[in-house]
Structures are given as C-alpha cells and as structure tokens.
Amino acid sequence: MTMVVLLTILLALLIPLLKVVYQTISYYYLTPRRIKRIMAKQGVYGPKPRPLLGNLKDIASLLSKTASHDMSSINHDIVGRLMPQYVVWSKQFGKRFIYWNGCEPRLCLTEGDLIKEFLTKYNSVSGRSWQQEQGSKHFVGGGLLMANGQNWYHQRQIVAKAFTGDKLKVNAGYVVECTKQTIQKLEKEIEESSGQNEFEIGEYLARLTADIISRAEFGWSHEKGKRIFDLLNLLQRRAAQATRNLYLPGSRFFPSKYNKGLKALKLEVERLLVEIIQSHKDTAEIGRGNSQGNDLLSMLLNEMQKIRDDGFSLNLNLLLDECKTFFFAGHETTAILLTWTIMLLASNPDWQDKVREEVAGVCKGDTPSIDHLPKLTLLGMVINESMRLYPPALFIPRMAFQDMELGDLHIPKGLSIWIPNVAINHNKEIWGEDANEFNPGRFATRPLNENRYFAPFSSGPRTCVGQAFATMEAKIILSMLVSRFRFTISKNYRHAPVIVITVKPKYGVQVCLEPLNS
Ligand code: HEM
C-alpha cells in the first residue's frame, strides 16, 4: 500500500517535470529543426545557426564593424550600417531568407503583397513570440503591444475608444499648449545665453512628447510623471539588454544581480504608478480633474470596475502594464520621428522654407487647429519621407501560431515573420535610384505604385492604435516650430544613426535656432 502511494507521488512529481523537459527540448531543438526542414523544402535558406545562439553572434560581429563609427556625411544610406546582416544574407540567399535569433527562426519578408496578406488575413492567428513576450515582461508586460489572442482583442476594443475623432480634437489642444511652453523655454534660453543658440533638439522633443502623452492620456502634469518617465527609459534599456541572454535555457530564473535589479526597477515604477493612479482617482471623485473622465486612464479605471460576461477582466497588473505601454509607445516613436524630421529640415533649407510658407498660408498666423491639418500637404509629405528614411518602427515582428498559406509559401506554426521596414523603405527596386535621398516630392503622387509597401504604422487590424494621434501631434508641433524658428544643422552634429529599439541619432541632433519675428 505504502509503495503504491509512493509511486503515485513520484509519478505526480515526474509528469510535470517530464513535460517541462519535453517543452524545453521541443523549443530549443525539435521545433527549430522541423521549421528549418519545411522551409528548405520550399527553397528558403539562410545562414547556418549555432546551437542556442542561432545567428546572434554573426549579427553582433557584423554590426560592430558597421555601426561603431560616425557616417562621413549626412547620408541616408543606412541599411548597410543598421542591418548589415540583411545586406549580406539577402545577397547570399535571395529576398526570402531565414535566420535565427537564438532558437527562434525568423523569416525575413519584404514582398509587399505577401506582407499585406499576412497582416490582414492572419492577424488572429499570429502575434508576439515567446521571446518577445519574455523580453518585455518587466517593461510593458501584457499591455496591448505584447498581448495575443482574445486578450489582445479585448484590450484593443477598450483602448481604441480613447483615440476617436472627438478625443483627438481635445488632445490637439494639449499638443498646442505643451508646444507653446517648449517654444517659450527655447526662446528664453536663447535670450538668457546671449546668442548661444545651439540645442540638442531631440532632448526637448522627447520631453515635449512625454509631457503631451502624460497630460492627454493620463491627466498628469509632466512634472508629476517625470520620475516615471526617467525610470521607464532606464527599464526599457535594461529590458533590452536582458533580452540578449534569453537564448540560455532558464536564464530568466537565475537570481543574478542583473535580474534582481530589473525586478526592483519594475517594482519602483509600479509603486509610483499606483500613487499617481490613486491621486487621479481622488481628483476624479471630487470632480477636479481636467480630463473629466475622458482620458485613457479614466477609461481603463472604469473598465476595471465592470463585470464582463466574456471572461476577460482588467485587473490592476494589466492596468499598470497598459499605462507603461502607452507611456512608452505614445511618446518614444513620435519623439524620434520629430527629431529626424528636424534634422532633415535643418539640412534641407529649401524644404524647410516651403513648409514654413505652407503653414503661413494655411494657418494665417493662428495656432494650428485640427481643421488646418489636412491642408498641410507638403508637411505631410515631409513627415512621410522622414518615416521612410528613418522609420521609427524598424521591424514589424509576428509569430505564426498555426500553419498558414501565404502566396506560394507554406508558413509553419512557430515561424516568426520579420518585416524589415527600414530595408523595404530604402530598396532601389521599389523607390528608384534616389531611394537613399531626401525627396518628399515622391509622396506627391497618389496612389503609391502598387508594389510600394509603405506602412510606417503597420497595416491590418493590429495597425498602430495611436496613428491618428501621432500624425496630429507631429503636424502641430512641426508647424509651430517652423513658424517660430529657422533651423540650421550645427557643425557639431555627428551623423551616426544607431538602433536602440528604434533608430536613434547616437549623439542627438544639434541644431542652431534662429528666432523668427511672428
Ligand atoms: C510616429 C509615431 C508612431 C509610429 C511610427 C508608430 C508605429 C507603430 C507600429 C509600426 C505598430 C505596430 C507594431 C507591430 O505590430 O509590431 C504600432 C503599434 C502600437 N502603437 Fe504606435 N506608433 C507611433 C505612435 C504611437 C502613439 C502616439 C501611440 C499612443 C498614443 C501608439 C501606441 C501604439 C500601441 C499601443 C500599439 C500596439 C497596437 C496593437 O498591438 O494592437 N503609437 N505603432
């Protein structure tokens, strides 16, 4: 009898253990081998992966050669610098190739028709991979950016309400207000520094977009959210570094100093967020909030109280993840877009003048409003050209959760599809011989040629939820800035784009500002 009990206990312990062992072997060995075989049968090959590391070392070694020095001039031919592996492998294996991020196989896909089909038709059966989820677990957790399946569907429905047309109108007011403050700050600094008019403009734009998202979506003043903003930036960098170790089985469980530090930082951010959320609730209760329950945070708080019959519930952890997600996604990308656009306008004075003239003609000296924006077509073209040359989202990554047919390709479950925006946007076959030059005029003709895939905000149901917000914000900020200052690129500017999640100027963008008479 005792023997039977002992055996039962042993089995009960052994079965979950065996399951974990099988899953680990399957993840690190069996699935990659199966996918490699299936893709090879279809003529899709790639560089030879090393055990566990895949091609990570090859990528690091190529990057260390191309991205460690400055570019000799302001030259937009950046694909070889930022994605040397793409240049080497696409030459060697053709436009479709497969490479290995640790044990995760990734198919590099650049064909516009297949990308559109994949993002539209297969949205519900693709999503974030395990590696991506683990990499951002401590950063944005299960927020919308990283959610999958039914959770993604529910979360998207909830937050989409914060980005409708009427909300955009209210938010445009915050954008104008915050931009005025930044302009005043810049003017004051020029005045007080007796002629010193050089600024690293990226820093000001990052503060500005953080201020806007804080006020518009969370009802905080930037000062209140400033500590969170700084901690989140640090958390983002640490989480990106931690992702590099994920190829080691179980590395995320090691009680290393590094992992402990990451968790402590996450807890600190969340403690501050809880404080701010509580004060938002208190203000709402006594009816003193200026958002009047219309911002994203109010919507999320309302949702938490609802009992839903579809089984989905928004708990405090998810609320915190959603706050981190929107704080990050809602300012970083826009700040980067604005920074590169100012660099491009400062080094192309003819386009800067054209945009300034257009803004003067459309706004007639008034601050820009939402009704002016569709008329700012040249500015729209400049913004598109900036996102083409320096796409804030470098890649669109998605994993196939089931087998699927994509054009002539059979995509097996477990294969990640990587859409390299930056390589597509600089491809001469698509954009012509001047693909690496700044020429906003190329966006004047509509519709874009059929095979030109250009989707800086992605496409399909999982397209950027903040696209209209970001476009409105960028147009207002740029039109206000060009109306108040003339920009020239400083001799101290060093052109050195690097990848730190997005494409960033390594040393910032130094420009000289000449105030214009209003
Ligand atoms: C120039 C500015 C922006 C660019 C270029 C941009 C680009 C993108 C892209 C390409 C995606 C899809 C990512 C993927 O599928 O892997 C995305 C998703 C997302 N973006 Fe943006 N974005 C910008 C601004 C914003 C703003 C201002 C917000 C919020 C206020 C925002 C919130 C989000 C969120 C939450 C997602 C995830 C959507 C989902 O998975 O359903 N983004 N963005």
Q: Identify the pLDDT of residue 311.
A: 72
Whether residue 518 has pLDDT greater than 60: no
Residue listed under structure tokens 């297949």: 114
Would the CB of 464 count as within 6 Å of ligand 1? yes
* Signed CA dihedral, 77, 82, 88, 89: sign only: negative
Q: Identify the pLDDT of residue 24.
A: 75
Would the CB of 146 count as within 6 Å of ligand 1? no
Cβ count within 10 A of residue 501: 18
Determine whether the annotation assigns residue 464 to a binding site.
yes
Question: What is the 118 CA–ligand 1 centroid distance (Å)?
Answer: 18
Distance CA 46, CA 31 (A): 17
Question: What is the 464 CA–ligand 1 centroid distance (Å)?
Answer: 4
Q: CA angle, corner 330, sides to 327 and 332, nearest 5?
A: 90
Label residue 464 left, alpha or beta by phi (over 0 means left) and psi (-120 to 50 means alpha): beta
pLDDT bucket at 278, cuts 50 / 70 / 90: confident
Q: Identify the pLDDT of residue 160.
A: 93
pLDDT bucket at 146, cuts 50 / 70 / 90: very high
Would the CB of 46 count as within 6 Å of ligand 1? no
Whether residue 291 has pLDDT greater than 60: no
Question: What is the 121 CA–ligand 1 centroid distance (Å)?
Answer: 19
Question: What is the 392 CA–ligand 1 centroid distance (Å)?
Answer: 10
pLDDT mean over 203-219: 91
pLDDT bucket at 277, cuts 50 / 70 / 90: confident
Of residues 2 and 74, the one with the higher pLDDT is 74
Q: Identify the pLDDT of residue 404.
A: 96
Q: Identify the pLDDT of residue 80.
A: 95
Would the CB of 472 count as within 6 Å of ligand 1? no
Question: What is the 466 CA–ligand 1 centroid distance (Å)?
Answer: 6
**DSSP code for 288:** -
Q: Which two tokens stand for residue 28?
A: 């690190």
Q: Identify the pLDDT of residue 314.
A: 84
Query: What is the ipTM for the molecules in this complex?
Result: 0.99
Q: Name the least confident of 4-13, 120-129, 153-162.
A: 4-13
Would the CB of 219 count as within 6 Å of ligand 1? no
Q: Report the helix count and the strand count for the chain, using DSSP H and E.
A: 20, 12
- pLDDT above 90 covers a percentage of the chain that reads 61
What is the residue type of 134?
Answer: Q
pLDDT bucket at 6, cuts 50 / 70 / 90: confident
**Core vs surface per residue 213-250: b (16+ CB within 10 A) or e:** bbbbbbbbebebbeebbebbeebbebbeebbeebbeee
Whether residue 405 has pLDDT greater than 90: yes
Report whether 110 contacts 419 (CB < 8 A). yes
Whether residue 29 has pLDDT greater than 80: no
Of residues 118 and 331, the one with the higher pLDDT is 118
Report whether 427 contacts 435 (CB < 8 A). yes
Reference 437, options 348, 499, 506, 357; nearest CA is: 348
Task: Tell me the whole-structure pTM to 2 decimals.
Answer: 0.91
| Closest atom of ligand 1 relative to the 397 alpha carbon | 16
Would the CB of 462 count as within 6 Å of ligand 1? yes
Q: Identify the pLDDT of residue 190.
A: 93
Whether residue 120 has pLDDT greater than 70: yes
pLDDT mean over 32-60: 92
Cβ count within 10 A of residue 45: 16
Question: What is the 480 CA–ligand 1 centroid distance (Å)?
Answer: 24
pLDDT mean over 365-369: 94
Report whether 235 contacts 266 (CB < 8 A). yes
Beta strands in 157-258 (DSSP E): 198-200
Distance CA 30, CA 468 (A): 43
Whether residue 116 has pLDDT greater than 90: yes
Q: Name the least confident of 206-210, 218-222, 301-305, 331-335.
A: 218-222
Distance CA 317, CA 435 (A): 45
Classify 411 as helix, strand or coil: strand
Q: Identify the pLDDT of residue 304.
A: 84
Distance CA 61, CA 56 (A): 9
Of residues 22 and 350, the one with the higher pLDDT is 350
Q: Identify the pLDDT of residue 449.
A: 57
What is the residue type of 394?
Answer: L
pLDDT mean over 454-472: 95
pLDDT mean over 313-323: 90
Tell me the average pLDDT of the chain: 89
Q: Name the least confident of 108-112, 172-176, 207-211, 224-228.
A: 224-228
Would the CB of 325 count as within 6 Å of ligand 1? yes
Would the CB of 458 count as within 6 Å of ligand 1? yes
Classify 337 as helix, strand or coil: helix
Distance CA 244, CA 54 (A): 12
Calculate the CA dihedral of residues 116, 117, 122, 123 and round it to 10 degrees: 20
By DSSP bridging, strand 126-127 and strand 395-400 are antiparallel
Distance CA 196, CA 180 (A): 21
Label residue 432 left, alpha or beta by phi (over 0 means left) and psi (-120 to 50 means alpha): left
Reference 145, options 401, 419, 463; nearest CA is: 463
What are φ and ψ of residue 405, in 5° steps?
-105, 125
| Closest atom of ligand 1 relative to the 396 alpha carbon | 16
Helix (H) or strand (E) holding 398: strand 395-400
Would the CB of 453 count as within 6 Å of ligand 1? no
Residue nearest to atom 21 of ligand 1 (CA): 464
Question: What is the 391 CA–ligand 1 centroid distance (Å)?
Answer: 12
Q: Name the least confident of 180-189, 207-216, 449-458.
A: 449-458
| Closest atom of ligand 1 relative to the 209 alpha carbon | 27
| Closest atom of ligand 1 relative to the 145 alpha carbon | 37
Question: What is the 325 CA–ligand 1 centroid distance (Å)?
Answer: 10
pLDDT mean over 65-80: 93
Q: Identify the pLDDT of residue 222.
A: 65
Report whether 315 contacts 304 (CB < 8 A). yes
Ligand 1 binding pocket mutation candidate from 326, 333, 394, 471 (most atoms within 8 A of CB)? 333
Residue nearest to atom 6 of ligand 1 (CA): 457
Report whether 480 contacts 368 (CB < 8 A). yes
Question: What is the 395 CA–ligand 1 centroid distance (Å)?
Answer: 12
Residue nearest to atom 16 of ligand 1 (CA): 396
pLDDT bucket at 479, cuts 50 / 70 / 90: very high
pLDDT bucket at 250, cuts 50 / 70 / 90: low
Of residues 310 and 412, the one with the higher pLDDT is 412
Ligand 1 binding pocket mutation candidate from 339, 457, 464 (most atoms within 8 A of CB)? 464
Q: Identify the pLDDT of residue 125.
A: 95
Cis check for the bond before 447: say yes or no (omega within 30 of 0): yes
Report whether 466 contacts 330 (CB < 8 A). yes
Would the CB of 127 count as within 6 Å of ligand 1? no
| Closest atom of ligand 1 relative to the 152 alpha carbon | 41
Report whether 492 contacts 463 (CB < 8 A). no
pLDDT mean over 117-124: 94
Q: Which two tokens stand for residue 46?
A: 């790639």
Would the CB of 466 count as within 6 Å of ligand 1? yes
Reference 108, options 88, 122, 123, 124; nearest CA is: 88
Classify 283 as helix, strand or coil: helix
Report whether 397 contacts 129 (CB < 8 A). yes
Would the CB of 465 count as within 6 Å of ligand 1? yes
What is the residue type of 101?
Answer: N
Would the CB of 329 count as within 6 Å of ligand 1? yes
Q: How far apart, in Å, are the Cα atoms of 164 and each of 176, 217, 312, 457?
A: 19, 13, 23, 17
Cβ count within 10 A of residue 251: 15
